[in-house]
Structure 1
Amino acid sequence: MNKWIRGTNAVVLSLAVIGIFIVLTIFLNSTKTMQIDLTQNKQFTLSDQTVQTLKSLDKDVHLIAFTSSQTDPLMSRQVSELVQEYKKRNGKIVFDQYDLEKNPEIAQQYEVDPSGSLVVESGTQKKSINYYEMFQQGQSQGEYQFSGEQKLTQALVNLNVKDKTKVYFLSGHNELPLNQMTLWQSGLEGENYEVKDLNLLREGKIPDDAQSLFIIGPQSDLNDKEAEVIKEYLNGKGKLYIALGFNNDMATKWKNIDGLLSVYGIQDQHAVAIEPKQSKLFSPLTIIPEYGTHDITKKLQDSNLLTLMNLAVALNSAPVDNYPSTAILKTTDQAFGETDIAQLLQNKYGKDDKDIKGPLNLGYAVSTKDNKPKAVILGGSTFLRDDVIQQQGNRDFALNSVGWLQEQKDQVTIRPRENPKVATAAITGGQAQSIFYGTVLLFPLLFLLVGGSIWWRRRKG
């Protein structure tokens, strides 16, 4: 009788456990968005900006991943996992994957790259994001950054934007060329800007559709006629984004660029900022500015993201009634502005009576008298180069400053995820077989033997 009762209890307990397991499984499947992300860098956790974008998405979106034999499997898997997270949040998203080599007729309908592309399609709107745009080299060898969420969310936001914002980058004065700022350019294009080169000697005027003029790192001054054309453009609705570049002639031969700045009450002090005791990681010529209180820098301050500037020129401001300005980048009071450029070129510098005492201002945001953005003026431009812009908050500052200037309300700023070096292990064929037989055969068999032994002993007892 006791054996029968024990057997019945065991059956009832087993059925209860199976029932609880089934109910728990059904419950978890019904809560598709409920998950716990235990990965080191929160790989499967979407930012608040993305969650809000997906909540407000009210149109059907088709996401198509195109890969080939040239696609890195790691890239393909990470992009696919990201898209699956978006699908969980919004049922209007449909996801398909195609092999370029097996489905060339489908790939021909889109602009795709053999190394992999993700197409965002809704109605007649299409946007292709190449995989290589989502992955950048990390801070250390073997590490990488994944910015897929920022680019995909921005593409979804742009589905509601019909017209592109046209911005022109001035050339002809040895400015920093666009082919050295491809990451910034692709970031701007991803936020619905149309970026074009402009040589005034060839064009003769600033195009009527130009919504901003960019002058980045010039190495020579504007001529008098170019300065007149630019001032005429800025007297209207035109906006200016200027980031100065270091040059040993800037103190004596840049009267027209200085004239442009003076319209907004900004003065180039013709001194290179030096911060003697700021960081052991960088030379004194690399400045980590403190942020002023402004919309451009608010998110950077909240996220504790720093901007790095090298060979930055000190700026100052004199009040102008029509164009109030706000300092957005500044040094500590330990810094000074080196005025002896000849000595600096010989890597000799030291604080003396001729130098400008800190704190120094390195960037200004200029508004109109009715508080509309008019200009961004920076004392340095090297942080915009491809080899530097990924450091800390450089990219965010660059995009935020343009977004403020153009009054972009739907700008997406999501930090790229830092991913550690992928750990690999080199094993022989024999070791691989041992791992396979051990995990697939030996351990399961061991559990069966132990379980069977316990069951047999209880049955006999």
Structure 2
Amino acid sequence: MKKDANKPQEANIEEIKAQELRPEKKQRDYAKLLRYGGFNTALIIIVIIITVCVNIIFSLVEKNAGLKADLTREKIYTLSELSNDVIGRINEKLVIYSFADDNIQSTIVEKTLERYTAANNQIEVKVADPATNPALLRKFSTSSATVSNGTLVVTNAAEDKFRVITYSDYYRKTDDGVEYVVLEQRLTNALLFMIDEEPTTVYLLSGHGEQTDDPANASAVQNITDSLQGANFQVEKLNLITGGSNLKKGDVLMIVGPSSDLSEDEFNTLQSFLKNHGKLVMFFDPSVQEDLTYFKALLDYYMIKVGSDVVYEQDSSMRTELSGVELVPNLSSHDITSPLIEGAVNVYVHEALSLDYYAPTSEGIEQSALMNTSESSLSIPVEDYLNGSYSNKLDSYLAEPHCVGMALSVRDSASISGDAYTRIVVFGSSEIIMGARQNSEGNQSIMVNSVSWVENKLDSLSITAKAIADYSFVITNLASVRVIVIIVIAVLPIIILGTGFIIYRRRKNL
């Protein structure tokens, strides 16, 4: 058979064509890869540029508008509505000196001050190293406060008026070991001090066996004084016999657990004071056996009735585990209690007399119950409580809700004054501010808020402190530990390797 002589020649031609096309294909593939790689590179560069720009923009917004997120559980760095109200009133230059070694502030100071400066550009923060600014240390140190590392000084532009906040003032620790951050309280009150007029005087009544006169209560009295001074009140003791004439319109009188009664002249002095738009905050001591006729008559004139019974709480959710007379009452909505309600802060009331009020006789009278017990709380006669016989007769006492704290205001319709009110706050227990729970956040706040309310200084209401929570991550379950180990050692590496392999295969098939 005759062979086809053209076959080898055709094969050679095809091979030659294939060889000619091979470089062109390689060139096209290279160009494709180059385009793809260039696109990816450009995309990465664009994403990086956008990310950097977004970070810059958000950093500027955070710095100038105070929009940083507070991720702490207790919102330690978030300013309260009261603080923002005070900051909004500032229309003059104020300076906050932050003294910090090597100009490195603590986190809590830096983040808190950022909120203040962002809220009002009239507030300026200056960080100063104590070691290199001895003149400032001497200028702002006082007999009661020495400026050092961690100290904050709030002052005006002329630096002729200032308030010192030491590092120890940032925190308050209760007797049961709970530590609170009170830096916002200190800063806001210092700012209020700078823009306020002369502080109001709070007089602690003396001369009737008041608990504030007992030397054994010196520590509690100092706590009262510190808290009120921190809210821009002056605190002085007042004996009506020797200094009753010092009481003037606008002053605040505080009476804490008197054990003996007023004289008739003292009663008349206090009645005249209250009628002249006086302000009164009073705490009763249920252990006092004297009737205190004139003290109760003073309140009776304003339709407040002080009972002769001690409140015993049977509802376990509204008392402590210690005793039925260790009350944790419900707080009713009022200017005095609202900050505590919003902060879910309890007030502890030990041994309280019940309070009641008569129906108001005019439209100018406003009565408000501040603290109430449950419907199952009992009314125990003081005599039974003091002799201890009540414990065997609980079934014989009437169960009903009781008020242990109330507020009253009386408007003077004949006056054109802007604050033509008599304001009174009464509590059935002096242990609120003198007893074992005196340092608790709620007890301190209810006292300061009461004084602020009667004085109509709502911007001095106590800012709720924030408890320092333990954020430790503790794993007590062995099975949970094993799961975490497997995830970290095995699962995550497999996911990473698998992702890398998929990317490799996709790029190889391009």
Q: Select which of 2, 21, 28 maps to 2:58.
A: 28
Structure 1 residue 220 corresponds to structure 2 residue 253: no
Distance 2:351 2:74 in 1: 34
Q: Give the aligned partner of residue 481 of structure 2.
A: none
**Structure 1 partner of 2:18:** none
* Alignment-mate amino acid for residue 121 of structure 1: T
**Distance (Å, rounded) in 2 between the aligned partners of 1:379 and 1:362:** 5
What one-letter code is carried by the residue in structure 1 that aligns with 2:204?
F
From 417, 438, 446, give the equivalent of 1:397.
Answer: 446
Three-state SS of the structure 2 residue aligned to 1:393 is helix
Q: Which amino acid in 1 is paired with 2:286?
A: F
Provide, for residues 216-251 of structure 1, a one-character-per-residue CA deviation record: whole Å limited to 9, x for no partner. 12233334443343233334332221111122413x
SS in 1 for 2:370: strand
Q: For the Cα contact (< 8 Å) 1:248–1:341, is it kept in 2?
A: no
Partner of 1:166: 201
State the one-letter code of the partner of 2:336.
I
Residue 311 of structure 1 corresponds to which residue in structure 2? Answer: 351
Q: Unaligned 5+ residue runs, structure 2?
A: 1-29, 213-217, 414-420, 475-495
User: 1:258 aligned to 2:296?
Assistant: yes
Structure 2 partner of 1:118: 152
Contact kept? 2:276, 2:422, Cα under 8 Å: no
1:263 maps to a residue whose letter is: Y
| CA displacement 1:396-428 (0-9 Å, x = unmatched) | 322222222111142344321211248699xxx
Query: Using a 3 Å threshold, how does the CA distance of structure 1 residues 346 and 81 change in structure 2: closer, same or farther?
Result: same
**Which of 274, 278, 286 is the equivalent residue of 1:238?**
278
Report if aligned partners of 1:167, 1:210 keep a CA contact under 8 Å in 2: no
Superposed CA deviations along residues 15-72 of structure 1, whole A, max 9, x for unmatched, are 2233223322332233223333333333333333434544553322210123679xxx
Residue 60 of structure 1: aligned partner:
93
Amino acid in structure 1 at the alignment position of 2:451: V
Identity of aligned residues (%): 24
Distance 2:334 2:316 in 1: 23
Match of 1:363 in 2: 405
CA distance in 2 between counterparts of 1:373 and 1:298 reads 21
Which secondary structure does the structure 1 equivalent of 2:449 belong to? helix
Aligned residues: CA RMSD:
3.7
- Counterpart of 2:406, as a letter, is Y
Q: Secondary structure at the match of 1:377?
A: strand
In structure 2, C-alpha distance between the alignment counterparts of 1:397 and 1:375, rounded to whole Å = 14
Contact 1:336 1:351 survives alignment (8 Å): no
With over 3 angstroms needed to count, the CA separation of the structure-2 counterparts of 1:153 and 1:353, relative to structure 1, is same
- Judged with a 3 Å threshold, the aligned counterparts in structure 2 of structure 1 residues 14 and 116 are, in CA distance, closer, same or farther, namely closer
Which ranges in structure 1 are unaligned for 5 or more consecutive residues?
A: 426-446
TM-score (norm 1): 0.79
Question: 2:215 maps to what in 1?
Answer: none
1:157 aligns with 2:192: yes
- SS of the equivalent of 1:229 reads helix
Choose which of 330, 348, 357 in structure 2 pairs with 1:290.
Answer: 330
Residue 430 (structure 1) aligns with:
none
TM-score (norm 2): 0.72
Of 169, 172, 185, which aligns to 1:133? 169
Following TM superposition, by how much is the alpha carbon of 1:342 offset from its aligned partner in structure 2, in angstroms? 5.3
> Is 144-153 or 157-166 further displaced after alignment?
157-166
Higher Rg: 2
Matched with 1:429 is: none
Does the 8 Å CA contact 2:281/2:426 hold for their aligned counterparts? yes
1:12 alignment counterpart: 42
Cα gap change, 1:369 to 1:319, in 2 (>3 Å): farther
For residues 420-431 of structure 1, the aligned pairs below 5 Å read 420-421=469-470
The equivalent of 1:443 in structure 2 is none
Cα–Cα, structure 1 residues 43 and 353, in superposed 2: closer, same or farther, change >3 Å? closer
Q: Deviations over 1:120-174 (max 9, x none)?
A: 1123432222332330126864x52101112212332343321211120112333
- What is the distance in 2 between the residues matched to 1:122 and 1:256? 47
Deviates most, 321-330 or 280-289: 321-330
Structure 1 residue 96: Cα displacement: 2.2
For 2:117 and 2:198, the matched residues in 1 are separated by 27
SS at match of 1:79: helix
3-state SS, counterpart of residue 259 of structure 2: coil
Change (3 A) 1:159 1:350: farther
Distance in 2 separating the partners of 1:205 and 1:53: 34
CA contact (8 A) 2:380 2:390 kept: no
Greater share of helix residues, 1 or 2? 2
> Could you tell me how far apart the structure 2 residues matched to 1:305 and 1:8 are?
61
